[in-house]
Amino acid sequence: PQRIDFHGMPAIHLRAPDGAEAIVMEHGAHIVSWKPAGGVERLYLSPDAVFSEGKAIRGGVPVIFPQFGDRGPLQGHGFARNQVWEVVASRAGEDHAMAHLCLRDSDASRALWPHQFLLELTLSISGARLDIELECSNPGSEPISFMAALHTYLAVREVEQASLQGLHGQRYYDAVKKKDMRETGTELVIEEETDRVYFDTRNPLLLKEPHRALAIQSERLPDTVVWNPWVERSIKFSDFPDKGFRHMLCVEAATIEHPVQLAAQHSWWGRQTLMAL
Ligand code: TA6
């Protein structure tokens, strides 16, 4: 692993012996690039993303903690994505490369959220696979409660030619229509603004595109958010090109409906795995 400068900020470039690559930033423990072995970039990073202290990066894998969106009193999606994490370890093994970063409560975090915590992100790449594990420990003497998400922006060649399978029959909240719904289709094709939280999803998902696919699995992150801002929302983002929505789809592994209740001196973890097919 190599320390690099990525748009003016410190990052780690991981390279597995099989050629798989990823870049993770200290800012937010934000994964901004992943190329499976022998493959092309599979994460979407906005070409207009802003890299600046305290600001969220548009694209890659923002770590959402301790609040999802505006479902609470904190700033949108919490603060973990806007703070500088510490690199605990990074190494390449015989068949993989990994990095481990952590974020502890600080004066800045306690001013926003008055709790002790230790958040850890471990990413590991090997061949066609990316594993992202988020762990939270409660070193304090009081229970804590939080939501979390890996807000993964997947790269697609043309969103209307992509379909997401595995959500059939799932209950979801449609944040565009502001309604509780149930998925009736066997595959989801994005043809309009889409912002949904699917609850208690159990199946692996498959993002299919002409000539390629991506398997998406999660463990202990039971909800799945599917987001594409489409035409009008995209125009409102200054850090996102007007046509950027054509080349991304967020498929996020999250725990939103039932926030994690973490007793003092306990820890929790959740994981998202992507596998290029
Ligand atoms: O995960 C979907 C979502 O919550 C959307 O509602 C949308 O606003 C998006 O995340 C991006 O949020 P951000 O705070 O990064 O602009």
| pLDDT above 90: residue 198 | yes
Distance 69 CA to ligand 1 centre (A): 6
Instruction: Kindly calculate the radius of gyration of the chain based on its CA atoms and give it in whole angstroms.
Output: 18
With CA atoms as reference, report the closest residue to 76 among 90, 84, 87, 66. Answer: 66
Give the mean pLDDT of 9-24.
Answer: 98
What distance, in Å, lies between the first and last C-alpha atoms of the chain?
A: 25
| pLDDT above 90: residue 38 | yes
What sections of 178-238 are H helices per DSSP? Answer: 230-236
- In the chain, how long is the greatest CA-to-CA distance? 52
Distance CA 6, CA 258 (A): 36
56 Cβ closer than 6 Å to some ligand 1 atom: yes
- Name which residue sits closest to atom 14 of ligand 1, judged by CA: 76
pTM to 2 decimals? 0.97
Q: Which residue has the tokens 């930033």?
A: 25
| pLDDT above 90: residue 122 | yes
Distance CA 13, CA 3 (A): 6
- Name which residue sits closest to atom 11 of ligand 1, judged by CA: 69
| pLDDT above 90: residue 203 | no
pLDDT value of residue 78: 96
- Name which residue sits closest to atom 10 of ligand 1, judged by CA: 69
50 Cβ closer than 6 Å to some ligand 1 atom: no
214 Cβ closer than 6 Å to some ligand 1 atom: no
| pLDDT above 90: residue 53 | yes
Q: Percent of the chain having pLDDT more than 90?
A: 99
According to CATH, the topology of domain 2-276 is Beta-galactosidase; Chain A, domain 5 (2.70.98)
Residue 100 DSSP SS3? strand
| pLDDT above 90: residue 60 | yes
Give the mean pLDDT of 123-133.
Answer: 98
The residue extents of the domains of the chain are: 2-276
Could you tell me the pLDDT band of residue 87, with boundaries at 50, 70 and 90?
very high
Q: Which atom from ligand 1 is nearest to the alpha carbon of 229?
A: 7
pLDDT value of residue 202: 84
Distance 194 CA to ligand 1 centre (A): 11
Q: Which of 50, 174, 195 to mutate to test the pocket of ligand 1 (most atoms within 8 A of CB)?
A: 195
What is residue 200's DSSP assignment? S
19 Cβ closer than 6 Å to some ligand 1 atom: no
| pLDDT above 90: residue 3 | yes
| pLDDT above 90: residue 197 | yes
- Name which residue sits closest to atom 8 of ligand 1, judged by CA: 69
6 Cβ closer than 6 Å to some ligand 1 atom: no
Could you tell me the pLDDT band of residue 276, with boundaries at 50, 70 and 90?
very high
pLDDT value of residue 1: 81
Q: How far is CA 86 from the centre of its chain?
A: 18
Average pLDDT along the chain: 97
Q: Which of 196, 227, 251, 255 to mutate to test the pocket of ligand 1 (most atoms within 8 A of CB)?
A: 227
| pLDDT above 90: residue 119 | yes
Q: Which two tokens stand for residue 34?
A: 């992943």
30 Cβ closer than 6 Å to some ligand 1 atom: no
